Chain A
Amino acid sequence: MLWIELVRLTWLEIWQSRSYRIMLVLALLAPALGIVLGSLFMVDIGKVYVDAIAASSQVLAMVYFIFLVVTMMSRDIFDRICYMLLTPPVTRMDYYIGRFVGFQMGFVALLLLLLLSSAIVGLLYIGEKPAFYQSGFSPWLLAWMVFFHFVQYISILGVIFFIVSWSSGNVETMLFSIAVLLFAWVFPPVLKAMQNPDVASDTPGGVVLLLQWVYEVLPHLQGAEISLSLAHGVAISLADTLLYVAEHVLYALVCFILGLLIFQRRDL
């Protein structure tokens, strides 16, 4: 169980980093954005507030994974910090699992702080308005939304661990991680557009097939669509929640195991 020690170490490293503490402060301040935006609108104030929190959560998640996780993993491997950790009896598997769970813990702490601050401010700010302006706002919906964001980014962490296992430097890791995120957003609308008869008749069948294959390889990031539904007070069914969780956990597992297999054979 040496990986548990590595989880603790990873958490301490994250906690000590100044950028993480700034992110925590931003998570505390995020509800202010919701209030400012909400005050600019006439009726759907609850919805606008939840939109602002959803956007803050997504932006914080991206900053956390791209600038903190990728940088720390790159530093570990390319600056050879992991030499200090990878000495017997610690195996590479312990190291990989410990780091993965540790980074997830850091992310959970960030999201919990965001949830806490936004739920308290939401209750005080939205809760006092008449029901007509609330558009179905409740702290439970916020918690539900944060949960969906958390699950979605398990896949992204898996992808990052896969990329780190074979990439040859810091810039390469960052480039590929950002590319995966960008492609995951851009592909669904583009593929949908290709189903339009006018576009489909002008596009060679091979190109469509190729794009569909690429899309199948990418993580399916549906958290944004789901938070949109939640912002309108529309609950998500249990079956869909289970499918969503299963998809992201399995995707992360596939990427993680593949990354681990490559990392175990890597010449450090």
Chain B
Amino acid sequence: MLATKQILVWFGFVASVLLLSWVRMEPIAQYQTQKGIWASSYSPVMDKAIAGPIPGLMADFRLLDVFAIYYDMKYAYKPIDGQHMAVYLNRAQNLDPYFFDVYRLAGSLLAYDARMPEASIALLQQGITYREDVWEFPFFAGFIAHDLLEDDFLAFQLMRQVVGREGIPLIVLTLASRFLEKSSSKEDAIAFLEGLKQLMPSDYQAGIQKRIDDLRGVLEH
């Protein structure tokens, strides 16, 4: 009886090891956010290691640090504060790349109070990859490129990424086409307008189609 029990125990052990090896060959990759680790030079790997089992809470704390920097900055602006804010926002993004508040602050405080539009756009661009459901990030990034960097071509390139996302207000598309008119690439303009046309109900497509035809006419001549 004892021998049978022992054989069963050993059999269970070998079977479990084999099954475990098989299960581990199928990684649960979809929910791992490790691809963000090297996304930014501000985000050391150790941040993730130290956060250990509580990355969400640590990301929240990094944002509280950003608020603290903001209040310091409000009373006496020092350029170094802006750099600190960028570092802490990147750390929070590294720990929790889906955190909406990180991108919201990147598009507002980092761009306008810390006066770091390049860092702000870089962060928002990461948000475009992670939050595919949101149209605000390409819009914020594009608007900052237009407003602070005065680079309308970059603004258009950023804003065109809203095409295909849900719930886009018409103003975003209008603004994007306006930046597009100022930028020089006609092929991009046509591609963008084609995408835009798909989004619009058929009753509203005539104006866009006319603009596409005009641009095609300019390219052909």
Residues of A within 8 A of B (CB): 37, 40-44, 47-48, 50-52, 54-55, 58-59, 62, 93, 135, 182, 185-186, 188-190, 192-193, 196, 216, 220-229, 231-232, 234, 236-237, 240, 243-244, 246-247, 250-251, 253-254, 257-258, 260-261
Contacts and interface: CB of A to CB of B under 8 A. Distances in A.
B215 interface: no
A51 B28 contact: no
Contact of A58 (B9, B20, B54): B54
A240 B30 contact: yes
B37 A192 contact: yes
B23 A240 contact: no
Contacts of B54: 51, 54-55, 58-59, 224
Contact of B31 (A37, A182, A229): A229
Contacts, number: 130
A180 B102 CA distance: 32
A216 B24 contact: yes
Interface string B6-41: 000110110011011001101010111110011000
B53 A58 contact: yes
Contact of A257 (B13, B53, B56, B57): B13
Q: Is the interface of A mostly helix, strand, loop or mixed?
A: helix
Interface in B55-74: 55-57, 59-60, 63-64, 67
A224 B59 CA distance: 13
Contacts of A182: 52
A50 B56 contact: yes
Nearest to A149: B53
A257 B49 CA distance: 30
B217 to A, nearest CB: 45
A190 B49 contact: yes
A41 B34 contact: no
B135 to A, nearest CB: 15
Contacts of A44: 99-101
B152 interface: no
Contacts of A50: 56
B23 A185 contact: no
B197 interface: no
B53 A192 contact: no
A253 B15 CA distance: 10
B5 interface: yes
12 contacts: A41-B101, A55-B54, A186-B49, A188-B34, A228-B55, A240-B31, A243-B23, A250-B23, A253-B12, A254-B13, A257-B12, A258-B13
B146 interface: no
